Amino acid sequence: MAGVCDRIVMPQPQEYAGAVTAADLDVWQSEFEQVCARFEGRWFRTESREHFQQYLRGLLAPLARKNSWTISEFTGERRITAIQRFINLTPWDADGLRDEVRDYAMEHIADERAVLIADPTGFAKKGRKSAGVQRQYSGTLGRIDNCQIGTFLAYANTCGDRVLIDRELYMPEDSWCADPTRRAEAHVPEEVTFATRPQQVQAMIARAVGARVPFAWFAADEEFGQNPGLRAYLEREQISYCMAVPQTTDITTGNVSTAKGNTMRVAHLAARLKPHDWQRRACGIGAKGFRVYDWAVIETALPGHRYVVRRNIADGELAYFHCFDPRGEGFSELVRVIGSRWPIEECFEAAKQEAGLDQYQFRLYHAWYRHITLAMLALAFLAVLRRTAKRGTHPLWTTRAARERNTGEPPQTVSDFDP
């Protein structure tokens, strides 16, 4: 197989941007070969293993569009339909690959204080044949449109690393789950039944817990924060969470045991906060610098439950978060976790721009899972490379850097490796 690094311009963290050395390319090539060797055992035929490598290379390549046709052309595959058959027809287990991608990521970025983050994202589609497609609201698109919705679980550690570790395709109840003709055309398995997105997230969290993925918190937006079934599951399993809730959320203050508890909307309680109740703190770094807000805590009558109010400094807009904190963590930790919701958006952006997450042209149910899981592997590969680059500890760097110092070999630039 031709070297991957003479065809791929690897994205770099800001602190590492600039010239790319030959040592960098050695590390990238070495890691790519190791990843291929690790995962290609999931396919028994040599041809399938080759197509796996081609597809992964294509997802990592600087292509304007990443689909089976462009990947075939980029990798030199003369049989244009071979890559399509690999996704649509070749027998292989996408869920098994998902679990192995998660394990690969955990070997490099596992953190006991990490945060699991759930969020849906939309995939715009034309027609009505793609599994799960219908006119529905997508926050990604910002409107009601013809699209598929994928529900994802991300993992963000305290060092700034983040990856996608699980995924589910949302299948609308009436237009898909209850329509046998559409199910048959899209090869939707009989065992697939309707599940809400909170139910999908609960299943994904359960898989992470079952796999002993280390984490300290779960974070999500209002869709999940106001779902009583998901909250009950997390509390039953003693999983700490910080989830956004609407301003109409009712909370109970006072002493419930003495019948002196009062129920009031969180927005009304926020309006009673005094100036000294607010603290100005940053909850992470964004594209424009630190994300700084004013924050306040509202105590409740339920043990372990608190509400955090976030106020935008510029316009005074308020946001509300339900925090289940059985360990009694500090205020700064709650702010950190709430700020950790943003990494999943960054995961989506990176996965779509750098790993072709949304650039597929497959209609079948299982093909969606296969493409998405391979894109998740590509994103995990990039995350591992970034972490290695920040640390600069790979043995190939040490060896090659020493040789460059001795020979005076100049560093090479990213543009030298454009295809």
In a domain, 226, yes or no: no
In a domain, 135, yes or no: yes
Determine the pLDDT at residue 387. 86
215 and 243, same structural domain? no
Torsion of CA 187, 192, 193, 199, to 10 degrees: -130
Q: To the nearest whole percent, how much of the chain has pLDDT over 70?
A: 85
Domain termination residue (choose one: 325, 340, 355): 340
Average pLDDT score, the chain: 87
Answer yes or no: is pLDDT of 259 > 50.
Answer: no
Instruction: Give the pLDDT confidence of 338-387 residue by residue, as tens digits.
Output: 999 888 999 999 999 999 999 999 999 999 999 999 999 999 999 998 88
In a domain, 9, yes or no: no
In a domain, 8, yes or no: no
Domain termination residue (choose one: 340, 362, 382): 340
In a domain, 181, yes or no: yes
Answer yes or no: is pLDDT of 393 > 60.
Answer: no
46 and 182, same structural domain? yes
Confidence label for 147 from pLDDT (cuts 50, 70 and 90): very high
Domain termination residue (choose one: 291, 325, 340): 340
Answer yes or no: is pLDDT of 419 > 90.
Answer: no
Task: Give the closest residue to 278 by CA, choosing from 310, 246, 301.
Answer: 310
Determine the pLDDT at residue 260. 52
Question: What is the total count of domains within the chain?
Answer: 2
21 and 147, same structural domain? yes
In a domain, 419, yes or no: no
Confidence label for 406 from pLDDT (cuts 50, 70 and 90): very low
Determine the pLDDT at residue 176. 97
pTM equals 0.87
356 and 335, same structural domain? no
304 and 165, same structural domain? no
Confidence label for 68 from pLDDT (cuts 50, 70 and 90): confident
Determine the pLDDT at residue 332. 94
In single-letter form, the type of residue at position 285 comes to I
Instruction: Give the pLDDT confidence of 15-37 residue by residue, as tens digits.
Output: 444 556 666 777 788 889 999 99
**CA–CA dist 36, 42 (Å, integer):** 10
Confidence label for 256 from pLDDT (cuts 50, 70 and 90): very low
**Which domain range does residue 248 map to?**
237-340
Q: Select, from the ranges 83-87, 206-210, 290-294, the one with the highest average predicted confidence (pLDDT).
A: 206-210
Mean pLDDT score, 63-90? 90
Determine the pLDDT at residue 284. 80
Angstrom CA distances, 371 to 46, 88, 167, stand at: 20, 10, 11
288 and 201, same structural domain? no
Task: Give the closest residue to 55 by CA, choosing from 28, 29, 85.
Answer: 85
119 and 97, same structural domain? yes
Instruction: Give the pLDDT confidence of 272-286 residue by residue, as tens digits.
Output: 999 999 999 998 877
Confidence label for 148 from pLDDT (cuts 50, 70 and 90): very high
Q: Are 334 and 306 in contact (CB under 8 A)?
A: yes
Determine the pLDDT at residue 184. 97
Instruction: Give the pLDDT confidence of 156-202 residue by residue, as tens digits.
Output: 999 999 999 999 999 999 999 999 999 999 999 999 999 999 999 99
252 and 211, same structural domain? no
361 and 320, same structural domain? no
In a domain, 150, yes or no: yes
The full 3-state SS of the chain, as one line of letters, equals: CCCCCCCCCCCCCHHHCCCECHHHHHHHHHHHHHHHHHHHHHCCCHHHHHHHHHHHHHHHCCCCCCCHHHHHHHHCCCCHHHHHHHHHCCCCCHHHHHHHHHHHHHHHHCCCCCEEEEEEEEEECCCCCCCCCEEEEECCCCEEEEEEEEEEEEEECCCCCEEEEEEEECCCHHHHHCCHHHHHHCCCCCCCCCCCHHHHHHHHHHHHHHCCCCCCEEEECHHHHCCHHHHHHHHHCCCCEEEEECCCCEEEECCHHHCCCEEEEHHHHHHCCCHHHCEEEEEEEECCEEEEEEEEEEECCCCCEEEEEEECCCCCCEEEEEEECCCCCCHHHHHHHHHCCHHHHHHHHHHHHHCCCCCCCCCCHHHHHHHHHHHHHHHHHHHHHHHHHHHCCCHHHHHHHHHHHHHCCCCECHHHHCC
Answer yes or no: is pLDDT of 61 > 70.
Answer: yes
Determine the pLDDT at residue 368. 98
In a domain, 409, yes or no: no
| Cβ-Cβ contacts under 8 Å for 253 (sequence gap 6 or more) | 261, 262, 264, 269, 298, 299, 300, 301
167 and 154, same structural domain? yes
Determine the pLDDT at residue 391. 62
392 and 364, same structural domain? yes
92 and 115, same structural domain? yes
